[in-house]
Structure 1
Amino acid sequence: MKVCMVLKNKFPTDIRVEKEARALIDAGHEIYLLSLGKAGMEKVEDVEGIKVIRIFQKENVIYRIPDYMSFNFFFDSPLWRQQLQTVVENYKIELIHIHDLPLIKTAIPVAKKNDIPLIADLHENYPEAKRTWREIKKPLINRIEDFITPIWRWKKLEKSVLQEVTYLVTVVEEAKDHYINECRVPPEKIKVIMNCEEMESFKNLIENNNLTAEFENNFVITYIGGFGTHRGIDTAIKSMPDILKSIPKAKLLLVGKGVGKNCR
């Protein structure tokens, strides 16, 4: 099957997108990825078997205004919709796979026009993540975004567009419960695919790292991923005193990066 993934970001790299694409390629599917580009990147490029097709935004901000206005007022991007339709036609795409909430509404008419399935792959609770991201932005930018696209609009978008997708992929059972109970998505339309490390590549990293010896005699609780208040890392940290009472050799190992004072 010819699958077109859509990522409103630059690629490479996005580890979840990479892992899913590799799994689908190994299963015999052809993977195309429509993503953002930047100066120095090729328009079309093969990245480890993934055919990446990039969208380059106009350098002059004035030319971006119509698409910016359409997205922020209607959550619809004419630029991405046109490019996605072109990719679907040119490469005979049989399924659209959207990564994250922002571009789902844009992709719905393309999927309907071409009578092909639409998969929504939600990496996180986007409205709540958006709330957290705004906390680390400058106050003026934060106020502008809160005025144009308040969190309640993101929640309303989430609930409406998820009614129209063919299937929904999410990362944990708690997220599945959210989509069932708050977005009214039928449970049979939801698949949980955890964002775990690939054991082979992770094993190679461990074997070549001094951390193995350093924590050899400890009970290690590991978090790997981005740092942010919406990740719940604070819960793990606050739990350590109680855990140590039962497991004296327990260690909490946090691996990742983040921005903002809340991540320090």
Structure 2
Amino acid sequence: MRIGMILDKTFPPDPRVANEAISLIENGHEVFLFCLKYQNEKTNETIKGIQVKRYKSSKLLYKLSALAYTLPFYSSIMSKKIEHFLKFNSIDVIHMHDIQIASAVFKANKKLKLKTTLDLHENRPEIMKFYPHLQKLPGKFLISSKKWKRKEEGFVKKATNVVVVTEEAKLELINRVGKPSKNIVVVPNTVHKVYFENADLQPEIIEKYKSNFVLLYVGDTGLRRGLQTAIESISLVKDKILSIKLVIVGSNSSDSVLKNQVKNLGIEAFVDFEGWKNETLFPSYIKASSICISPLKRNLHHDTTYANKIFQYMSFAKPLLVSNAISQQNIVEKAVAGLVHKAENSNDFSLKVLELFNNLGLQKELGENGKTFIENEFCWELTSKKLIALYHN
């Protein structure tokens, strides 16, 4: 089958798009990827079997994409490019990534009437509520998350099939939109076995923290990720765990808030802001850690998605401490891979840290449970089977 994937940004990088495309190619399909270019990238290129077709875009069009469901220009311009892509490459079925480009795809497909898969990487209308530029003018006035939500519901109804990242997201769509369960497939963003089997560990990172009891966080450090809870907790347990160190590997424009909190609490010696690091270094930091954390705040988006870092953590047999955001709580409890704290509750977070610190056997047991879960149930080689079955059928 000739599958036409549609992405409204540059490629690479996009791990989910690449993982899905490569798995489909390995199972006998041809994958053509529509994506954008802003400079002098090659118009046509084959990357790991993916036949990448880049269409010229501009900064103006990029800005208009944020107004895709406020003004018609973006969808009108993109639909012509997509229609050319579909016809020129004799596409059999469309696989569109996220809703920003969905209107343009359905417009381009009006005459062709190809079957469509809508791949929802996240609950975009819900996460938009936390975008800084939508919390102030003019974004607050021009872009309506409620309108995006209505559009999403329409796209879900139109699509032949929908792909989501968690069972909770599937249930939410069934209840909200009425999409039949058989037409929604769950494909989580899990890790490949090679991620933990062939990791290139950096001894200097492991050596740096060998004397510490490390709480590790990797990834985006936006305030909705809950790191303020972890920082507050350090001030509560530092006198009981003298070797404790909160290591934060990642960054966000709001980092000044976190750094000021650390300064105001007088705990600079107990918190390391490592900044953004290449993801190839994440395994080394995970290996150096004692507990890995994901203290997400509760909201509809976090309740129906996974912080992909938890699978990276588990794959190296590290015990987890996660908030009770529903999806991650369910998966961690299913794997028996860690403890759960109440979101935004530093006292509960602290109690769970102390419980793990005082029980080395529990740390080891939870870590091994997580690793076994990844190896036997939740690595990409296994979780991608539902996507492959969707196209075989």
TM-score (norm 2): 0.54
Q: Quote the offset at 1:160 in angstroms.
A: 1.4
Q: Which amino acid aligns with 2:43?
A: K
Partner of 1:149: 143
1:98–1:121: 8 Å Cα contact kept in structure 2?
Answer: yes
Q: Quote the offset at 1:244 in angstroms.
A: 3.0
Partner of 2:82: 84
Pair 1:178 & 2:164 matched: no
Q: Which amino acid aligns with 2:9?
A: N
Partner of 2:201: 208
Q: Quote the offset at 1:145 in angstroms.
A: 2.1
Partner of 1:255: none
Q: CA RMSD in A?
A: 3.4
Unaligned runs of 5+ in 1: 252-264
Partner deviation per Cα, 1:21-70 (whole Å, 9 max, x = no partner) = 110110111111111102120111111211111121247x5x89998876
Partner of 2:107: 109
Q: Quote the offset at 1:122 in angstroms.
A: 0.5
Matches within 5 A, 1:184-223: 184-205=178-199, 208-210=201-203
Partner of 2:9: 9
Q: Which amino acid aligns with 1:234?
A: P
1:70–1:78: 8 Å Cα contact kept in structure 2?
Answer: no
2:128–2:134: 8 Å Cα contact kept in structure 1?
Answer: no
Partner of 2:54: 54
Partner deviation per Cα, 1:122-163 (whole Å, 9 max, x = no partner) = 010101121222x2x496xx4222212211111111111111
Q: Which amino acid aligns with 1:180?
A: I
Secondary structure at the residue paired with 2:111? helix
Q: Quote the offset at 1:6 in angstroms.
A: 0.8
Q: Which amino acid aligns with 1:161?
A: F
Q: 1:234 aligns with which of 270, 273, 295?
A: 295
Cα pair distance change 1:24/1:178, threshold 3 Å: same
Q: Quote the offset at 1:91 in angstroms.
A: 1.0
Q: 1:244 aligns with which of 331, 353, 364?
A: 353
- The number of residue pairs the alignment matches comes to 244
Unaligned runs of 5+ in 2: 227-293, 297-321, 324-345, 365-393
Q: Quote the offset at 1:241 in angstroms.
A: 2.4
Secondary structure at the residue paired with 2:13? coil
Cα pair distance change 1:68/1:168, threshold 3 Å: closer
Tell me how far apart the structure 1 counterparts of residues 65 and 353 of structure 2 sit (CA, whole Å). Answer: 53
Q: Quote the offset at 1:5 in angstroms.
A: 0.7
